[in-house]
Amino acid sequence: MTTGKIAIPYYGNLTHPTSGFERIFFIVDHDVKKPAQTQNISIGIWDAKESPLLPRWLNELGVHQVVCRTRPEGALIDTMVQAGIRVFSEGSEAARKLLKQLNII
């Protein structure tokens, strides 16, 4: 994890089996030099009618990393990477540490 904006899906995954892509995200202005308790965290709500492509919406917010509880399917990761967004899952030590510090897991 580097310094910058990180999106964390509200329910932990980029997709839901019944409703498609996650629409609610924690947006963390992550600074590796600051403790997790002092990170600036806001809520972002993606409206597919206004911005049909999730990766583009994340880019517009300045997000370059997404942290999920579980690893998304490969095609979704590829789409995010092509848009310049790195995807981490709980399997990543840095992602697990961040999620624990923010009391998300």
At 37, which CATH number?
3.30.420.130
What is this structure's pTM?
Answer: 0.84
**CA–CA dist 67, 39 (Å, integer):** 15
Does an H or E element contain 101, and which?
helix 93-101
**CA–CA dist 21, 105 (Å, integer):** 20
Number of domains in the chain: 1
State the residue for tokens 């990170």.
39
Domain that holds residue 15: 4-101
- In degrees and rounded to multiples of 5, residue 26 shows phi and psi of -80, 130
pLDDT tens-place string over residues 16-72:
888 889 999 999 887 767 766 667 889 999 999 999 999 999 999 999 999 998 888
Model confidence at 3: pLDDT above 70: no
